[in-house]
Amino acid sequence: MRVKSLLLVVSVVGIATLFLSASIFAGTTVPDVIKMETKGYEKHEKGAVSFSHKKHSEEYKAGCGDCHHDAKGKPLANLKAGDKVQGCIECHKKPGEKPKGKDAPKLSKKEALEYHAEALHDNCQGCHKDFNKKNNSKAAPTTCAKCHAKK
């Protein structure tokens, strides 16, 4: 009887440890590829971008703060993989791009970045252009078709 009780206790503790470890690990991982499909849009005009988080962090050595920033645009350099982050749409609340055309209002940079697509493109294209300039290459994509999947 005593052996059965001990075996039961050891089994329960083992299973609890397994579940606890799995939940801790799950909270510290980041998907290798993130499909950039923001729910704030009624319809996406272009195909969703598949962002390789793994490639950017491991191959290109991009730190968390290279993409993630605070409300003032300052890099969140203290982030670690798996930390909870807000989606871009949480702050850049206007879906789509800023108004364009001859009748479009003239917007400041800050006003333009209120538009979700403007903020994403500014962040990604700015980094890609800097990378290309620094490396004297055209490896990092800067045009629509190079990032957006065909529909």
On whether both 23 and 3 belong to a single domain, the answer is yes
On whether both 15 and 2 belong to a single domain, the answer is yes
Structure tokens of 35? 């499909």
**Position 78, amino acid:** N
On whether both 97 and 132 belong to a single domain, the answer is yes
135-149 mean pLDDT: 94
User: How many domains does one find in the chain?
Assistant: 2
Mapped onto helix, strand or coil, the DSSP state of residue 148 is strand
CB 78 within 8 A of CB 61: no
State which residues form the domain around 9: 1-30
65: domain CATH number?
3.90.10.10
On whether both 61 and 3 belong to a single domain, the answer is no
On whether both 112 and 59 belong to a single domain, the answer is yes
User: Residue 26: which pLDDT band, with cuts at 50, 70 and 90?
Assistant: very low
112-133 mean pLDDT: 95
On whether both 10 and 47 belong to a single domain, the answer is no
pLDDT tens digits along 67-103: 999 989 899 989 988 888 888 999 999 999 999 999 9
On whether both 15 and 52 belong to a single domain, the answer is no
Q: What angle do CA 124, 129, 131 make, to 5 degrees?
A: 95
pLDDT tens digits along 37-72: 888 788 888 899 999 999 999 999 999 999 999 989
On whether both 43 and 25 belong to a single domain, the answer is no
- Half-sphere exposure in the Cβ direction for 138 (13 Å, CA): 3
